[in-house]
Structures are given as structure tokens and as C-alpha cells.
Structure 1
Amino acid sequence: MSDSINVALRFALYLDLMLLFGLAAFGLYSLRGKERMSGAVLPFAPLLVSTAVLGGLLSLAAMACMAWAMSGVSEWTELRPHVEMMVAETDVGLTWTVRMAALLLAGVAATLSHRWPTASLGLVALGGAVALATLAWAGHGAMDEGARRNWHFITDFLHLWAAGGWVGALAAFALLLRQAENRLAVLARTLTGFESAGTVFVVVISVTGVINYLFIVGPRVDGMLQSTYGQLLALKLILFMAMLVFAALNRFQLSPLLEQARRTGEHHVAVNALRRSMVLEFCVVVIILGLVAWLGTLSPGMD
């Protein structure tokens, strides 16, 4: 049961922190001027504040569950000294403290959206990036030492940030598509403008994914499918390829169709097609994050 709770909390943290960072980043690279103000195009303030608060609550729960699993105590009332010890005396506790501070910064900054929209999104993106990066200490990189550990962490950071950028963009497009009739021009422009950012995200995710595989498994593939880790990793790669197919469909067929339909005024078919595509792509993302959360608890040779 504790393993299932651990995986569920890891999954929820991945999704939450990627949304926090990715939505704020989307506002910076896709929207312009007053469009970045909460409510002008997207409801940034309530979305980002609630995401930051949820991230803090999930982090509290994750720390409590980790201390419970490591201490072996049978009662939650006996857990407090173990939590205090972990927070004060371990690397995991230090990164947890940094995450909580980053989430506090992001939550406070999100409330300033109406007064300083660009600065607000910038601070939220910074806090979200730091909070997201702390998840690397719960992965395989924490088991390395020396320079290898540092390079593994750097690769993890880039992988997490690129994935967060993609997840946040998908969420932003899903929200824009809910009000497509009122935001059609912005939707068409941001879809077209996402081409460059999306390409960067895909390249970074792909390259860092390969490097992470080499760090964790090494330059071999023989026997991988005989372990649970290898089977889950293979499924993750298949789903990632499916995401690339959806992205290509959006880029080369649905986005041009929307732009053409916007000029003629008959945009309902194009919008509905984009909605279906985005829903399917986001579902694939959620499954991939679930697999990532599970993979982080396994070793490559574990049955």
C-alpha cells in the first residue's frame, strides 16, 4: 500500500509542478503585453495560486509518507521527530525546504498578475522551475556520486523543464479551446507560434531521455524487456512517439485548418478537431507521467 501511495504522490507532484511552471512559461513566450494579465486570455491568478497551494500540500504528504516508510513507526503521532530529522539533516529534506520556499514565491507572485502581469508570470515561472527541479532528488540521479551525480542532475533538470513546458502548453491550449469563439485570433496565433518552442521541447526531452537512459542502464538494451523497469520504459517510449504523432497532426494539419477556417468564419469543425486531438494528447501525457512516477521507484534489474 505504501508503494502505491508513493507512486500516486510522485505522479501528482509531477503533474502539478509541471503545470505550475509550464502555464507561467506559456504566458511569457506566447502571450503579449496585457494578454498576460489574469483573465485577459487565461485565468492565471486562480490557476497558478491553486496549483502552488496544491503543490505545497502534496509535498507535505510526500515528506510524511517518506518519513513513515523509512522510520518504520506504526502510529502517525510518532512520526513528527522523524520528519524533523529528515528535513533538517538530509539532502531530500533540504530540497524539500527549497521546494516549499519556491512554491511560496510562486503563489505570492501569482496574486500580483493584475498589477504586474509580466513580472508575476516571470516569478511564477522561476519558482515553478526551482520546485520542479527539486523532484530530481527523488529520482535515480540521487544515487550517483561526484561529477556523475552533478551531470545526471543537470540532465534531469533539463528533462523536467522541457516536459513541464510541453504539459503547460497543452493545458493552456485546452483552456483556450474551451472559449475558442472569443479567443480565436489568439488561439491561432499561439498555435502557430508554438512551433519553435514545441520543437525545442521535443529535442531536449529526446536528447536528455537518451542521456538519462545511459546514466541509469548504460549502453545496452539486451534483457531490458525481461524486467518491469524495461517493460514500463518501452511503454513510455511508445506513448511518447504517439505524442509526437499528435503534435505533428496539430502542426501540419489542424493548425493550418484552423487558420483557414478563421478567415472564412466556419471554424467549428477545425476547433472540434483540435479539441479532440488535445484531449487525446493530454491523456497520453498523464499516462506517461504515471509511468515516470512508477519508474522512479524501480531499478533497471528489478523484476
Structure 2
Amino acid sequence: MDELANIVLRFALYVDLLLLFGLPLFGLYNVNAALRFQPLLRGMALVGSLLSVAGLVLMTRAMSGETQLAALWPHLRMMLLETDVGLAWALRMTALIIVLFRPSGWIASIASAVALASLAWSGHGAMDEGALRFWHFLSDILHLLAAGAWLGAMLALLLMARLVDDTHIRRLAEAVKRFEWMGAVIVLTLTISGVVNYLFIVGPRLLPGSYGLLLAIKVLLFMAMLMLAALNRFHLGPLLERSLRDGQHLIAATALKRSLVVELVTALLVVALVAWLGTLSPEPG
């Protein structure tokens, strides 16, 4: 039961922090999107703080074996003051408080990036040492930031696609086109960092067992996301632009919205697998 709770908690925290970074970033390079993310970002910062507290308590309880709060407190204090995980947690909480009070502009983007990057200290990179540890953490952080940028863009485009009048559809078409260069950077970063992370964790070999199976499913889902992204980029996006000239944009906008929903659901499945993989050992046994 504790293992399931840990997976669910990790999934919720990952989704929250990925979107917390991706949404304000989308607003920075899509200034004409006319979306107000501030209330949503404040809510996400608050939820992220609560999930982080719950995660720290659950991790400390699992490591110490204590269940009573009074007996658990000394272990929590040691975790916070004497471990890298505790330092990363404190940095995340500070960043989330900043977003809570300043949920817009570059300040929100930088603070949310720090909060998201802190998740790397709960991954497999924490087991490495020396230079290998640094490069593994760097790869993990780049992977997280790229994933957050993609997830946030999908949600932002979906929010824009809710309104189907000419003005909002025109803004949606512009946003899809503007996302092209960012999408290329995201895909390249995710692919390279994903391969590097795999080599860091298991080396040039195939993994048997549950870890290998879940990792293979994750790769297949990522490939499905790439195909959906290509569909949006080369077909549905241009179709939406052409439909604006013809005044028949409702069908094109609906098709794009459906594709974005499928892409977002696929992305959430990938995040769920990442949360699960983080609780497993890559070593067979």
C-alpha cells in the first residue's frame, strides 16, 4: 500500500511541477496567447508544496520505519539538515513560495524551473558519485525541463482551443506555429537526455524484468507523442491556418483539439511510468 501511495504521490508531484514550469514558459514565447495563468499557477504552487511535504514524510517514514509523528520528527530533521534530498526539498519549497506570490513573468519561470529541477535529487542520479553524478544530474534536469515545456504547451494550447471565435482561433493558429521551433528543441533535448540517462543507469544493455518492460512501454508512448506532434505540425496546424482564410475553421479547430487531448493523455501516461520507474531498481533480481 505504501508503495502504491508513493507512486501516486510522485506522479501527482511530477505533473504539478511540470505544468508549473511549462505554462509560464509558454506565456513568455507566446505573448499574444492572451491566457491568464496566474490563478492556476498559484494553485499549482500550493498543491506542489503540500505534495512535497507529504512526499518528504512518506520517504522519511519508509527509511526510518517510524509511523508516529513524535518518533518521526528527529528523522525528518536529520533528512532536512543533513542530506542532499533535504537541501533540494528546501530549495523547492522556497521556489514554490516565490511562485505563490509572483506567478507571472520571468520570476515565475525561473522559480518553477528550480522547483522542477529539484526532482532530479529523488531520481537514480543521486546514487552516482563525483563527475558522473554531476553529468547525470545535468541530464536529468534537462530532461525534466524539456518535458515540462512540452506538457505545459499542450495544456496551454488546449485552453486556447476552447474558444472558437475568429480572434481566438487566429491566436491559436499563431501559437501552434510559434511552438514549432520550441517543439524541435524540446524533442531534441528529450531524445538526447533520455538516451544519456539510460546509459547512465543501465549502460549499453537491454534490461529484463519489470523495469525493462516499463521502460520499453515508455519509449513506445514517447514515439506515439512524436507522431501526434508531427501530425499537429505538418497537417492540423497548416489546416487551421487555411481554414481561417476560408472561414471554415470549426472542423479544423476541433480536430486539433482532439489531437492535443490524445497527446496530453499519452504524456500523462509517460509521467505515470516515470513515477513508477523511480521506485524500482534497474538491476535485475
TM-score (norm 1): 0.91
Offset of residue 13 of structure 1 = 1.1
Q: Which moved more, 1:125-134 or 1:293-302?
A: 293-302
Offset of residue 9 of structure 1 = 1.1
Gaps of 5+ in 1: 36-40, 111-119
Offset of residue 79 of structure 1 = 2.1
Equivalent residue, structure 2, for 1:264: 246
CA contact (8 A) 2:92 2:115 kept: yes
String of CA shifts for 1:154-204, please: whole Å, max 9, x gaps. 001111000100000001001001123251111110101111000000000
Of the three residues 147, 153, 163, the one matched with 1:179 is 163
Q: Which residue identity is paired with 1:268?
A: L
Q: Which residue identity is paired with 1:60?
A: V
Offset of residue 77 of structure 1 = 4.3
Equivalent residue, structure 2, for 1:84: 77
RMSD, aligned CA: 1.1
Offset of residue 91 of structure 1 = 0.8
Equivalent residue, structure 2, for 1:155: 139
Offset of residue 147 of structure 1 = 0.3
Q: Spell out the pairing of 1:51-200 with structure 2 (5 A cutoff).
A: 51-110=44-103, 120-181=104-165, 182-200=167-185
Of the three residues 271, 280, 285, the one matched with 1:289 is 271
String of CA shifts for 1:33-66, please: whole Å, max 9, x gaps. xx6xxxxx21211111111111101101101101
The separation in 2 between residues aligned to 1:294 and 1:133, in whole angstroms, is 18
In the alignment of these two chains, the number of paired residues is 284
String of CA shifts for 1:265-298, please: whole Å, max 9, x gaps. 1111001101110110000000000000111111
CA contact (8 A) 1:227 1:301 kept: no
CA contact (8 A) 1:102 1:127 kept: yes
The separation in 1 between residues aligned to 2:54 and 2:67, in whole angstroms, is 17
Offset of residue 75 of structure 1 = 2.3
Q: Which residue identity is paired with 1:207?
A: I
Q: Which residue identity is paired with 2:139?
A: T
The separation in 2 between residues aligned to 1:145 and 1:104, in whole angstroms, is 31
Q: Secondary structure at the match of 1:98?
A: helix
Equivalent residue, structure 1, for 2:22: 22
Q: Which residue identity is paired with 2:247?
A: G
Offset of residue 81 of structure 1 = 2.4
Equivalent residue, structure 2, for 1:300: 282
Gaps of 5+ in 2: none
String of CA shifts for 1:2-35, please: whole Å, max 9, x gaps. 1111111111111100101000100001224xx6
Of the three residues 38, 43, 49, the one matched with 1:50 is 43
Q: Which residue identity is paired with 1:24?
A: P
CA contact (8 A) 2:164 2:250 kept: no
